[in-house]
């Protein structure tokens, strides 16, 4: 081994700058992958760690019905005696009129351990309330009420009697007999439930102390039929739940849920984020490995010229390969170290988005397992690639087949001037002997870079467009659905149905409304499976659900399905599906065979890809549930939305905050991870730039003899300086010509899979401006990189370059 | 030294050696049946026009390439038919090569270039260094030990290449146009060295196209069109190489 290390050391001394460049490339690629994998792990555990850090309670109780004469407080106080229960914190939501359009409640409990020992929120600013006149707000409340620490939350309240009357359905004087509250905001907090990505669940809220509860519970009305239960660590949730059910009076019904279940939507959103980051890591690893392997190949090829001498001195092929590999190990080691250091620094950016909000310990984190595995994998991979390439380069050269060089002449015959022709030759012809530099690897890296950047940009642009165009996720109207009751004529809502339809028809032709329709929902049974179904009864104007393929049904014998439903039923457009008759129909009613005529994206209330669209007659013929209906309207362009809301409310239709377009959680989740494809695109761009710089610099150095010959033939130094920029431009041009269409194709393939997985419209947004900008930036980089190389190339006199050896 | 005084066992025996290169336009028949014997302590110059197969023959004897047909025996060992690894090991023991364009390892110092062959052959570093320093002193490069080849003159680089070739006391010293890249002074230096080595008993096989350089050899073999046109034996038995000078 002695002489191999002896030679390898000399080689490292000689090529230290190039090896540093290789280490840099390995470090950049490795750091991105390691940081992403560690980030994904941290993201996947962020919620669990948040729950653990806040010592989240185990059960959430809600009184569904209360026996006569029984007070909620007594129900909850009895639960403290149940074995396995460590603490019960009854909850009261004290309603305060803060002048907003949403209901706002201050949440407090008589249990002083609540917030202090369990359900402890993360305090973002300030502190938890202690006194009776203090309150802490969540971020949603801060944003909607425009309050911060030191401000005062004020508003009138109901007393308990008024509140009970409200809950009973009204019919009494509600004047606000409770005290006016003035509460100092002392903190901004975040609980796990504040992470909920379902907009309908993300409410502004305030937390107050047990002192507040003690002072105001008797005078301020509020909803007090819920409690939080914290269990002993050793208690089994199912056993305690059973015991709780058994301990309440027989005529009192408790709904008991696991506090963890509240986090299901958040869990799902985090899963999407984790998957996105892991996909990023895999793609970055493959791309980085590819580009690094190319750089290693170029590096070994540059060293291979000494192989003749080593062979003449009696080195076997294996020994030559080992020497070449050993000379690259310092680059592998340095690259691995760089990767680890940068990955640790980059850990401060993880987790981000929703997971970042859940992370209880933001900042730098060291994931030893990932770091060690990453270092080992990088070092081993580089060594393996180096060994393979070195083995190939070490084979004895036998009969030297003469190869016709492409030559400047090939381009000259096309009328290309000498300097660009020489640059193109450097780009496309690897050269010979000591001056040989692999050319195809540079082209491949350029194609990969362009494809990666454009593909990532296309996916990002498509996601952005999806988020800002509601019709792509099924919301094809401006307002609605505004609820007006059941589909059943004999339902208790039946009286309002006719009135509602009459009121709708009275306003449908108003100039302020471009279209109005009744959106009905129910469940149908298709091929034995329960499918959430809708129909749209257009009363005026033109309104449709989002039909992304085929058409909407026009008769009761037709149906259109969502993407997921098509997959679940194994159907395609044109197939026939069996639809069970409506529930409660005639005994001899048979299932009908309906033709699938289109693919639909469903609005909120459904998963975007899950459902069936019928005609109104078709839904009536096949619905298997009571169903419900609501009004949806499109507002005439130019008409103010608030004015339209006021107009509808004047005619008996109430538009709550949820009547406005709200993207489904899957679309919000997708938008939340837009930085991932962006980062991937940047990574591809960086890799491509490093690879281009490496090949241009290596080529100028390796082929300085040719440059010397060109100078000897009369090219001025300025012309020789221009050859590397032309080389870089040629590489970039080929990369763009092949890579951009490939990127669009890859981006389309990826986007279709993402969109189809959610069930939304899957048309790709081709980022033309991004593409033009990328081409311009790439050209500028090519010229810059080539210019640096050109200056280095003419630093020596031609005579030095023309010296043999 | 005359042929009659040479060791009876030849250092190199080549019989019917053929070599063809596959080129894009037509195959190139570099050697078309070459027979050659090189006796111990003999100094042979191979001459001929460009493309006659001189360097190809040298590469085959050195085991840097393989013959298509024929047999080559070096120091009693078969060269033809050996694996690449065995050829490499054979070179360590028996061959020292001097190239026209030196083929020095630019990343190593002068001393390291001479130490390397001995280390490849298994010699420990210290004794290899001692021998290397001795060789450098012998060849007038003792004060250049820590320099890199790039700062040496052409003649000095070739002397360094010769020192490297002698590091393992080779059975046969092969030189391919050793003065081709040198000026007249450098060429004279190298030639003088070769004469000195030869007088010390070194067997030398040298390729050259220079008459003056070839005149320093015991025997001149003329090649033409891949064959030996004149093996020089007749002239060698009557000439006195030591009286030939440049």
Contact B88 A6 (CB under 8 A): no
Cβ A477 vs Cβ A513: under 8 Å: no
DSSP-based three-state secondary structure for A226: strand
Selecting from B66, B103, B125 the residue whose C-beta is nearest the C-beta of A312 gives: B103
Please report, for residues A517, A537, A558, A670, the alpha-carbon distance to residue A542 in angstroms, rounded to integers and kept in the order given. Answer: 9, 10, 20, 30
Q: Give A 377-436 residues with CB within 8 A of chain B.
A: 396, 398-404
Residue A352: predicted pLDDT: 86
Inform me whether the C-beta atom of residue A11 falls under 8 Å from chain B C-beta atoms. Answer: yes
* Helical axes B154-166 vs B110-120, angle rounded to 10°: 20
Q: Scan residues 126-165 of B and list those with Cβ closer than 8 Å to A.
A: 149, 157, 164
How high does pLDDT run on average in chain A?
85
Q: Please give the Cα distance from A684 to A571 (Å, whole number).
A: 39
Option in A13, A309, A311 nearest B88 (CB): A311
Instruction: Using an 8 Å CB-CB cutoff, list chain A residues near B117.
Output: 313-314
Mark out the alpha helices in chain B (DSSP H runs). Answer: 54-62, 84-94, 110-120, 125-138, 154-166, 184-199, 211-214, 233-236
For residue A327, the number of C-alpha atoms closer than 13 Å in the C-beta half-sphere is: 34
Q: Which of B66, B107, B148, B168 to mutate to test the interface with A (most CBs of A within 10 A)?
A: B107
Lowest-confidence segment of A173-187, A390-404, A573-587 by average pLDDT: A390-404
- Of A6, A13, A804, Cβ closest to residue B116: A6
Helix A264-303 and helix A665-672: axis angle, to 10°? 30
Instruction: Write out the DSSP string of A710-745.
Output: HHHTT--HHHHHHHHHHHHHHHHHHHHHHHHHHHHH
Kindly identify which residue of chain A lies nearest to residue B113, measuring between CA atoms: A7
The C-alpha atoms of residue A155 and residue A174 are separated, in whole angstroms, by: 15
* Residue A222 β-bridge partners: A94
Banded pLDDT at A474 (limits 50, 70, 90): confident
CA of B109: which chain A residue's CA is closest?
A10
What's the pLDDT tens digit per position in A774-792?
Answer: 999 999 999 999 999 888 8
**Where residue B82 falls among pLDDT bands split at 50, 70, 90?**
confident
Contact between A287 and A448 (Cβ < 8 Å): yes
Instruction: Tell me the nearest-neighbour CA distance from A318 into chain B, angstroms.
Output: 8
Chain A residue with the nearest C-alpha to that of B181: A804
pLDDT at A192 over 90: no
- State the pLDDT at residue A460: 92
SS3 annotation, A675-714: HHHHHHHHHHHHHHHHHHHHHHHHHHHHCHHHHHHHHHCC
Closest of A163, A137, A140 to residue A224, by C-alpha: A163
CA distances from A593 to A559, A596, A628, B27 (A): 10, 10, 25, 76
Those residues whose C-beta lies under 8 Å from the C-beta of residue A572, and which sit 6 or more positions away, are A566, A596
Minimum distance, in Å, between the CA of residue B25 and any CA atom of chain A: 9
pLDDT, residue B5, reads: 46
3-state secondary structure A415-474: CCCHHHHHHHHHHHCCCCHHHCCCCHHHHHHHHHHHHHHHHHHHHHHHHHHHHHCHHHHC
Alpha helix ranges (H) inside B42-171: 54-62, 84-94, 110-120, 125-138, 154-166
Q: Is the pLDDT of residue A239 over 90?
A: no
Query: Among A6, A306, A401, whose Cβ lies nearest the Cβ of B22?
Result: A401
Q: Do B92 and A314 touch (CB under 8 A)?
A: yes
pLDDT tens string A693-728: 888 888 888 788 778 777 766 778 888 889 999 999
**Confidence band (pLDDT; 50, 70, 90) for A402?**
very low
pLDDT average, residue stretch A320-337: 91
**Top-confidence residue, A293 or A803:** A293
Residues 309-348 on A with a CB inside 8 Å of B are 309-319
pLDDT of A399: 39
> Which residues of chain A have a CB within 8 Å of the CB of B119?
2-3, 6
In sequence order, which residues have a C-beta less than 8 Å from that of residue B145 and are 6 or more positions away? B109, B110, B111, B133, B136
B119 at A interface, C-beta within 8 A = yes
ipTM value, please give it: 0.76
pLDDT of residue A488: 55
Token pair for B127 = 């004794």
A314 → closest Cβ in B102, B112, B121: B121
Instruction: Report how far Cα A310 is from the mean position of its chain's Cα atoms.
Output: 54
Mean pLDDT of A470-479: 87
Mutate to test the interface with A, among B89, B93, B108 (most CBs of A within 10 A): B108
- Residue A132 CA to residue A688 CA, distance in Å, equals 61
Q: A304 contacts in B (CB within 8 Å)?
A: none
- HSE toward the beta carbon, residue A562, CA cutoff 13 A: 27
Put simply, whether A1 touches B (Cβ < 8 Å) is: no
User: In the prediction, which pLDDT does A373 show?
Assistant: 95
Cβ contacts of B116 on chain A, cutoff 8 Å: 3, 6-7, 313
State the smallest CA–CA distance between residue B28 and chain A in angstroms: 10
Could you tell me what percent of chain A has a pLDDT over 70?
A: 88
Using CA atoms, how far apart are residues B99 and A678, in angstroms rounded to an integer? 56
pLDDT for residue A434 is more than 80? no
Residues of B in contact with A398 (CB under 8 A): 65-66
DSSP for A655-672, written as a single string: --GGGS----HHHHHHHH
Mean pLDDT, rounded, for A566-591:
86
The pLDDT of residue A306 is 82
Residues of A with Cβ-Cβ distance to B107 under 8 angstroms: 10-11, 13-15, 306
Say if the Cβ atoms of B85 and A316 lie within 8 Å. Answer: yes
Interface check for A67 against chain B (CB to CB < 8 A): the answer is no
Per residue in A118-128, pLDDT (tens digit) is 899 999 999 99
Q: How far apart are CA A461 and CA A440, in angstroms?
A: 31
Max distance between CA atoms of chain B, in angstroms, equals 52
pLDDT classification of A665: cutoffs 50, 70, 90: confident
Distance, in Å, from the CA atom of A757 to the CA atom of A276, rounded to the nearest integer, reads 14
Handedness of CA A354, A360, A364, A368 (dihedral sign): negative
| Confidence band, pLDDT 50/70/90 cuts, at residue B184 | confident
Mutate to test the interface with B, among A313, A319, A320, A398 (most CBs of B within 10 A): A313
Contacts of B129 in chain A (CB under 8 A): none
Task: Give counts: helices (H), strands (E), chain B.
Answer: 8, 10
**Contact at CB, A6 and B119, closer than 8 angstroms:** yes
The answer to whether B174 and B94 are in contact (CB under 8 A) is no
pLDDT in tens, B188-225: 888 888 999 999 999 999 999 888 889 889 999 999 99
What residue in A sits closest to B19 (Cα-Cα)?
A: A399
Residues 6+ away with beta carbon under 8 Å from A328 = A19, A22, A296, A299, A300, A382, A383, A386, A390
Helix (H, G, I), strand (E, B) or coil at A567: helix
Phi-psi category of residue A26: left, alpha or beta, with phi > 0 → left and psi -120 to 50 → alpha: alpha
Contacts of B95 in chain A (CB under 8 A): 314
CA distance B125 to chain A (A): 8
CA geometry: angle A441, A444, A448, nearest 5 deg: 140
Read off the pLDDT band of A445 (50, 70, 90).
confident
Residue in chain A closest to B66 (alpha carbons) equals: A398
pLDDT tops 80 at residue A431: no
pLDDT of residue A244: 86
Contact A560, A528 (CB under 8 A): no
Q: What's the pLDDT score for residue A405?
A: 42
Choose the closest CB to A399 out of B21, B84, B116. Answer: B21
Contact residues, chain B, for A800 at CB < 8 Å = none
């Amino acid at each position: 081994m002695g002489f191999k290390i002896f030679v390898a050391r000399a080689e490292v001394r000689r090529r230290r700058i190039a090896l540093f460049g290789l280490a840099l490339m390995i470090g950049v690629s490795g750091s991105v992958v390691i940081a992403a994998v560690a980030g994904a792990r941290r993201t996947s555990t962020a919620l669990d760690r948040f729950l653990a850090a806040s010592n989240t309670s185990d059960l959430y109780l809600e009184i569904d019905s209360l026996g006569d004469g029984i007070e909620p407080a007594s129900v909850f106080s009895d639960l403290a005696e149940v074995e396995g229960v460590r603490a019960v914190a009854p909850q009261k939501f004290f309603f305060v009129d803060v002048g907003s359009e949403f209901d706002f409640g201050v949440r407090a409990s008589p249990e002083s351990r609540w917030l202090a020992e369990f359900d402890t929120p993360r305090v973002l600013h300030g502190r938890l309330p202690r006194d009776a006149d203090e309150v802490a707000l969540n971020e949603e409340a801060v944003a909607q009420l425009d309050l911060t620490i030191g401000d005062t939350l004020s508003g009138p309240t109901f007393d308990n009697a008024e509140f009970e009357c409200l809950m009973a359905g009204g019919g009494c004087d509600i004047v606000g007999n409770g005290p006016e509250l003035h509460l100092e905001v002392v903190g901004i907090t975040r609980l796990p439930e504040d992470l909920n990505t379902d907009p309908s669940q993300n409410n502004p809220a305030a937390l107050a102390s047990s002192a507040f509860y003690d002072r105001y519970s008797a005078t301020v009305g509020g909803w007090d039929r819920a409690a939080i239960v914290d269990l002993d660590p050793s208690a089994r949730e199912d056993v305690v739940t059973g015991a709780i059910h058994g301990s309440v009076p027989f005529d009192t019904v408790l709904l008991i849920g696991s506090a963890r279940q509240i986090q299901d939507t958040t869990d799902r959103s985090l899963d999407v984020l984790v998957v996105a980051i892991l996909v990023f890591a895999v793609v970055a690893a493959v791309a980085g490995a590819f580009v690094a392997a190319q750089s290693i190949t170029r590096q070994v090829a540059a060293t291979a010229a000494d192989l003749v001498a080593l062979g003449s001195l009696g080195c076997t092929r294996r020994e030559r390969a080992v020497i070449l590999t050993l000379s690259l190990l310092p680059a592998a080691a340095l690259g691995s170290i760089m990767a680890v250091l940068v990955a640790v620094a980059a850990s401060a950016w993880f987790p981000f988005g929703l997971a970042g909000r859940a992370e209880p310990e933001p900042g730098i984190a060291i994931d030893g397992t990932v770091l060690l595995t990453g270092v080992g994998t990088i070092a081993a991979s580089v060594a393996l690639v180096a060994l393979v390439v070195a083995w190939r380069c070490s084979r004895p050269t036998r009969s030297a087949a003469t190869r016709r060089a492409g030559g400047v002449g090939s381009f000259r015959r096309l009328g290309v001037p000498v300097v660009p022709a020489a640059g193109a030759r450097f780009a496309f012809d690897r050269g010979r002997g000591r001056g040989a530099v692999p050319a195809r690897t540079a082209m491949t890296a350029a194609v990969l870079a362009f494809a990666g950047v454009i593909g990532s940009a296309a996916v990002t642009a498509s996601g952005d467009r999806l988020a800002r165009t509601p019709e792509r996720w099924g919301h094809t109207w401006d307002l609605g659905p505004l609820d007006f009751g059941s589909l059943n004529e004999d339902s208790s809502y039946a009286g309002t149905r006719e009135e509602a339809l009459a009121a709708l028809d009275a306003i449908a032709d108003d100039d302020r409304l471009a279209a109005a329709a009744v959106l009905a929902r129910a469940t149908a049974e298709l091929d034995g499976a329960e499918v959430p179904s809708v129909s749209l009864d257009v009363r005026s104007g033109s309104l449709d659900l989002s039909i992304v393929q085929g058409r909407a049904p026009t008769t009761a014998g037709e149906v259109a399905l969502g993407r997921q439903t098509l997959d679940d039923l194994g159907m395609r457009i044109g197939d026939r599906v069996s639809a069970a008759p409506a529930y409660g129909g005639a005994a001899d009613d048979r299932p009908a065979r309906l033709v699938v005529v289109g693919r639909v994206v469903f609005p909120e209330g459904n998963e975007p890809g899950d459902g069936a669209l019928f005609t109104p007659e078709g839904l009536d013929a096949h619905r298997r549930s009571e169903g419900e209906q609501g009004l949806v309207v499109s507002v005439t362009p130019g008409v103010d939305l608030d004015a339209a809301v006021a107009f509808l409310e004047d005619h008996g239709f109430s538009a709550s905050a949820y009547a406005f377009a709200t993207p489904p959680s899957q679309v919000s989740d997708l938008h939340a991870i837009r930085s991932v494809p962006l980062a991937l695109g940047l990574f591809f761009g960086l890799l491509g730039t490093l690879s281009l710089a490496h090949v241009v610099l290596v080529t100028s150095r390796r082929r300085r003899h040719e440059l010397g010959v060109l100078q000897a033939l009369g090219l001025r130094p300025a012309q020789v300086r221009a050859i590397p920029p032309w080389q870089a431009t040629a590489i970039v041009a080929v990369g763009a010509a092949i890579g951009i269409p490939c990127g669009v194709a890859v981006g389309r393939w990826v986007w279709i899979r993402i969109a189809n997985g959610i069930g939304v419209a899957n048309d790709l947004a081709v980022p033309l401006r991004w593409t033009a900008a990328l081409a311009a930036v790439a050209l500028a980089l090519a010229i810059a990189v080539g210019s640096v190389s050109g200056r280095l190339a003419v630093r020596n006199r031609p005579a030095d370059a023309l010296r043999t050896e | 030294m005359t042929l009659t005084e040479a060791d009876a066992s030849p250092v190199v025996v080549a019989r019917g050696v053929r070599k063809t290169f596959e080129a894009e336009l037509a195959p190139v028949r570099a050697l078309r049946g070459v027979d050659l014997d090189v006796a111990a302590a003999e100094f042979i110059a191979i001459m001929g026009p460009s493309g006659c197969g001189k360097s190809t023959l040298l590469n085959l004897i050195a085991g840097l390439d393989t013959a298509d047909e024929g047999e080559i025996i070096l120091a009693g060992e078969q060269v033809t038919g050996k694996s690449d690894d065995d050829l490499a090991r054979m070179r360590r023991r028996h061959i020292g090569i001097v190239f026209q364009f030196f083929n020095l390892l630019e990343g190593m110092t002068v001393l390291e270039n001479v130490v390397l062959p001995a280390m490849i052959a298994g010699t420990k570093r210290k004794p290899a260094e001692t021998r290397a320093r001795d060789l450098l002193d012998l060849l007038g490069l003792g004060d250049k030990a820590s320099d890199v080849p790039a700062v040496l003159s052409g003649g000095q680089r070739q002397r360094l290449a010769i020192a490297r070739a002698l590091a393992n006391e080779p059975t046969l010293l092969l030189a391919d146009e050793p003065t081709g890249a040198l000026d007249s002074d450098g060429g004279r230096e190298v030639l003088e060295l070769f004469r000195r080595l030869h007088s010390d008993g070194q067997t030398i096989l040298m390729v050259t196209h220079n008459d003056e350089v070839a005149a320093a050899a015991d025997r001149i073999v003329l090649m033409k069109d891949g064959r030996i046109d004149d093996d020089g034996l007749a002239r060698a038995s009557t000439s006195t190489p030591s009286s030939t000078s440049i």
